[in-house]
């Protein structure tokens, strides 16, 4: 999933506009950033889950244009995982139908903990990186660095304290599993999602919004939405369709994904329908 790149999940674009409109948008974004910082402490929870990030070793999927009835494929998705002792390396690829690799993401987990996450988008020529380390002055406190820039050279961001329940694309699924009992009861689950473009995290929540039947099996629909009203006015919720029984695998989701789509000479964020194949 990539909201969630990227999803750019919580970020919205600031394109050239007439001066009055652009001025209002700038004020809106300043308020957004400020409220995000004020809400950060209340939005965090403890993330207790343990998860084997090396399994399954291969997940594939397809990203379709919304409204095409899963007929117009925009990208193919592949996630591969390899383990060396207690280190798991994850590679995620988004490939166009013509075979061009549009974007890649990589994650490294050490003893079940995320230590780095990288994204390279070759079409839009942007890249981002996340690094998580321990504070040498306070080993109990972890630090996070989020960097983003043009080109493929990875930029290192400024260091700040890592807030509990901070999630990137690749560990979103285990986070959801860790809170499945609450979600199935209709309780909301809050977390922080890394937004590379803004080089920071934003508050989101997961909440059950319905059930549906597919191929004779019941599936739960989980909505991911911003916790801040200002952000909610600019970011469309993502809706995940998840197996109600068994492993609670994410079958599909509708919303932002990693590769962008070209509009004229610019690359815009892409909302699409992503369908996963777990076999």
Calpha distance 248→170 (Å, rounded): 16
Calpha distance 203→231 (Å, rounded): 9
Can you give the pLDDT at residue 209?
97
Calpha distance 244→250 (Å, rounded): 10
The per-residue pLDDT for range 22-75, each reduced to its tens digit, is: 333 333 333 333 333 333 333 333 344 478 999 999 999 999 999 999 999 999
The verdict on whether omega for the bond into residue 56 sits within 30 degrees of 0, i.e. cis, is yes
pLDDT, averaged across the chain: 83
* Strand positions, DSSP E, the chain: 58-64, 73-84, 87-95, 101-110, 113-121, 126-135, 138-150, 159-161, 166-167, 189-195, 200-214, 217-226, 238-243, 250-263, 266-277
Calpha distance 107→90 (Å, rounded): 5
Interior angle at CA 139, CA 138 and CA 144, nearest 5: 85
Calpha distance 204→10 (Å, rounded): 9
Lowest mean pLDDT across 114-118, 148-152, 173-177, 218-222: 148-152
The per-residue pLDDT for range 84-97, each reduced to its tens digit, is: 999 999 999 999 99
Model's pTM, two decimal places?
Answer: 0.81
At 19, phi and psi to the nearest 5? -55, -45
Residue 2: pLDDT over 80: no
| Average pLDDT for 223-251 | 90
Task: List the domain boundaries for the chain.
Answer: 19-277
For the chain, what is the radius of gyration of the CA atoms?
A: 18
Instruction: Write out the two tokens for 23.
Output: 């001025």
Question: Helical H runs in the chain?
Answer: 19-43, 172-178, 180-184, 229-232
| Average pLDDT for 162-175 | 94
Calpha distance 100→84 (Å, rounded): 29
For residue 62, list its beta bridge partners: 76, 275
Can you give the pLDDT at residue 1?
59
Residue 148: pLDDT over 60: yes
Can you give the pLDDT at residue 232?
79
Can you give the pLDDT at residue 131?
95
Cα dihedral angle (268, 278, 164, 272), rounded to 10 degrees? 20
Calpha distance 88→92 (Å, rounded): 13
At 66, phi and psi to the nearest 5? -60, 135
Sign of CA dihedral 69, 75, 76, 80: negative
Q: Does residue 110 sit in helix, strand or coil?
A: strand
The pLDDT-based confidence of 233 (bands split at 50, 70, 90) is confident
The pLDDT-based confidence of 8 (bands split at 50, 70, 90) is very low
């Amino acid at each position: 999933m990539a909201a969630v790149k990227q999803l750019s999940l919580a970020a919205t674009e600031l394109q050239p506009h007439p001066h009055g409109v652009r001025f209002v948008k700038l004020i809106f974004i300043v308020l957004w950033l400020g409220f995000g910082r004020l809400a950060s402490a209340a939005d965090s929870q403890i993330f207790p889950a343990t998860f084997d990030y090396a399994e399954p070793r291969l997940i594939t999927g397809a990203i379709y244009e919304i409204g095409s009835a899963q007929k117009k494929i925009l990208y193919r998705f592949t996630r591969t995982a390899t383990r060396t002792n207690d280190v798991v390396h994850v590679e995620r690829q988004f490939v166009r139908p013509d075979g061009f690799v549009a974007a890649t993401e990589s994650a490294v987990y050490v003893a079940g903990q995320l230590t780095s996450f990288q994204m390279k988008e070759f079409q839009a020529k942007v890249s981002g990186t996340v690094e998580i380390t321990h504070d040498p002055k306070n080993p109990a406190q972890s630090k996070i660095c989020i960097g983003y820039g043009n080109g493929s050279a990875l930029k290192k961001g400024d260091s700040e304290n890592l807030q509990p329940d901070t999630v990137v694309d690749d560990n979103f699924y285990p986070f959801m599993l860790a809170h499945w009992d609450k979600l199935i009861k209709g309780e909301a689950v809050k977390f922080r999602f890394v937004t590379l473009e803004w080089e920071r995290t934003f508050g989101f929540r997961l909440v059950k919004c319905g059930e549906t039947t597919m191929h004779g099996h019941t599936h739960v629909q989980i909505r991911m939405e911003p916790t801040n009203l200002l952000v909610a006015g600019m970011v469309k919720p993502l809706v995940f369709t998840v197996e109600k029984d068994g492993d609670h695998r994410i079958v599909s989701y509708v919303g932002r994904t990693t590769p962008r789509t070209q509009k004229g000479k610019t690359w815009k964020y892409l909302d699409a329908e992503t369908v996963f194949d777990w076999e």
